[in-house]
Amino acid sequence: MNTKNRDFDASKVITCIGIFALVWFQGGEQLWQFAIFSIFVIVSSIINVLSIDDRGINNIKMLKIPMCIASLFLLYLILYLAPLPSSLLELTAEGFDTGNLNKSVIPSTYTVSPFLTSVAIFKYIIYALFFLNLFHLYKQLEELISFLRYIYACGCLFALYSLINHVSDGGYELFPALEPWGTDWSETIRGTFSYKNHFAAFLHLLIPIGFYLAYLEFKYYKVEGDRVAFNKGMLIVINQIFFVYLVIASGSKGGFLLLVAFPLLILSLCVIKKLVNSRLQLWIKTLLVVSILTASMLLSSSALNYSQGEQSLSNGRDFMYTSMTSIIAERPIFGTGPGTYEIYQNKYKDKRLTISRKSIRAHNEYLELLTNIGIVGCFLVACLFVSLLNVKAKVHGEKHSIAHYCSEGALLIILIYATFDFVLQLPAIMVLVLSMMVMYIRSGIDPVNKSIGLSRN
């Protein structure tokens, strides 16, 4: 094995260890947990840069348009930290109560909190590096399969950990939930996360991976007659049933509804692909996604509060939405600065909401993003997302339908989740989302290869 191959394998191992540590530590919810994950990503990035060859450079060039948009977005975020001249300081508002010791803060930059904005920018950079690492390390869908198996195996381990603690009422809990999200293990299943909705979202990303892996095993059995492959496929099917049970047992209402909706979404995507002209598919899918997200956003608050009756005050989603709309009305164009919603919401927070940590998250990723980076920033994020979905290869080939549908369905499910919870702010879930994005791209740009998915890696 030459030096480049050793570096390549080392980078893969480092990335995998980082993901395992991230999920285990409460989903990376706390800053120190994300810092550990960041070290693994940075080390892996350095190895990749030092060992990159011509093939790797050509591979990264496929992302030239998304990388240009991402660079523009990063520059936009950095401008939040630039000191403002005194003549423009009125743009930063007259000051606000941070919720801590009743101190009023008047920032000298456009962002209301340079520290929180710096942290948010750092996270964006780490996510970008992680995505580029995956895209570089797994240049074909066949190579990505081994990584997907690793992620799925980790998910199985965490699911088993959850079941053991559910049965033993937390007797083997390693990391307690962060307040105020803690719940008794006898009442619900929440995995290594602090809240049941987050664990349900994590499982919803693992289930499509399981479908694809089971399909590969049964396909290999059909072609090669390998009984071991059949047994592996059946084991994955059993585990899929176990995941479905855990989603239901978690008590997450949104998780249960999306569990029912997932096959319908996949069916809709298949019908669109079969019946609609390829030139119109993007527009119809966009219309479908926008319609679903709008409906979910309009219904999530009232539906959840209605179902919880007297608990609606502690849930407080309607009050959070009121705070967000007030902030958006005050700063619609540029927002208050990346990562600053958690303190700026104190300016408009309803008095019926307690000091609970629950209120520092908007429970709607889109509206919170809009409060943080404004219309301009959200436009750049949308352009970046669309550009990634439209990455094309220079080779002639067709999409691998099963991988394409599974990754597309997973991304759509998590986009719906984001309308009623802050799932994308948990690094462990963002890692899976980025992995699904790589899977989606690779399912479309790989050359036609009959051996795809039949490797016994």
Range scoring the smallest mean pLDDT among 66-70, 147-151, 171-175, 395-399? 395-399
The string of pLDDT tens digits covering residues 242-275 is 999 999 888 888 888 888 888 887 787 777 777 7
CA-to-CA distance for 130 and 300, rounded, in angstroms? 32
The answer to whether 247 and 255 have CB atoms below 8 angstroms apart is yes
In a domain, 54, yes or no: yes
User: According to the model, what pLDDT value does residue 445 have?
Assistant: 61
- The pLDDT assigned to 240 comes to 94
Which residues share a beta bridge with 104? 97
Percent of the chain exceeding pLDDT 70 equals 75
Q: What ranges in 109-224 are assigned the alpha helix state H? A: 114-137, 141-167, 196-224
Confidence band, pLDDT 50/70/90 cuts, at residue 182: low
Q: Is residue 53 part of a domain?
A: yes
From CA 31, how far away is CA 9, in angstroms rounded?
28
CA atoms within 13 A on the CB side of 367: 28
* pLDDT, tens digit (0-9, with 9 covering 90-100), for 373-384: 999 999 999 999
**Rounded CA gap, 48 and 4, in Å?**
9
pLDDT-derived band at 397 (thresholds 50, 70, 90) equals: very low
Higher pLDDT, 337 or 316: 337
The pLDDT assigned to 456 comes to 46
Which pLDDT score, from 0 to 100, does residue 242 have?
93
What are residue 83's phi and psi, to 5 degrees? -60, 135
Mean pLDDT of 300-325: 58
User: Is the pLDDT assigned to residue 437 strictly greater than 80?
Assistant: yes
User: Which residues have a Cβ under 8 Å from the Cβ of 100 and sit 6 or more positions away?
Assistant: none
Check residue 53 and report its DSSP letter.
-
Cα–Cα distance measured from residue 187 to residue 249, given in angstroms and rounded to the nearest whole number: 9
124 belongs to a structural domain = yes
Tell me 291's DSSP state: H
Between 323 and 84, name the one with better pLDDT.
Answer: 323
Give domain status of residue 453, yes or no: no
Give the least confident one: 95-104, 109-118, 437-446. Answer: 95-104
Domain that holds residue 257: 3-445
The pTM of this model reads: 0.85
235 belongs to a structural domain: yes
Per residue in 129-159, pLDDT (tens digit) is: 999 999 988 888 878 888 899 889 888 888 8
- Dihedral angle of Cα 335, 336, 338, 342, to the nearest 10 degrees: -120
Q: Which pLDDT tens digit goes with each residue over 270-311?
A: 777 777 666 666 677 777 777 776 766 666 554 444 444 444
What is residue 409's predicted lDDT score, i.e. its pLDDT? 87
Domains identified in the chain, total number = 1
Instruction: Please write the tens of the pLDDT for every residue from 72-89.
Output: 999 999 999 988 665 454
d(CA 413, CA 204): 8
Give CA angle at 269 (263, 273), nearest 5°: 145
Least confident of 120-129, 180-189, 216-225: 180-189
Burial of 188 (0-12, 13-18, 19+ CB in 10 A): middle
335-352 confidence digits (pLDDT tens): 989 999 988 888 887 766
Does 451 reside within a domain?
Answer: no
Least confident of 47-56, 119-128, 211-220, 358-367: 358-367
Give the Cα separation of 71 and 75 in Å (integer).
6
Question: Residue 180 — very low, low, confident or very high, per pLDDT cuts 50/70/90?
Answer: low
In a domain, 457, yes or no: no
Reported as a pLDDT band with limits 50, 70 and 90, residue 319 is confident
Burial (Cβ within 10 Å: 0-12, 13-18, ≥19) of residue 227: exposed
Angle value at C-alpha 142, between 272 and 49, nearest 5 degrees? 110
Q: What is the rounded end-to-end Cα distance, in angstroms, of the chain?
A: 17
Whether residue 100 has pLDDT greater than 50 = no
Q: Average of pLDDT values for 13-17?
A: 73
Q: How far apart are CA 237 and CA 289, in angstroms?
A: 29
pLDDT score of 392: 63
Q: Which amino acid is at 453?
A: G
**Is 129 within a domain?**
yes
Q: What is the mean pLDDT of residues 26-37?
A: 83
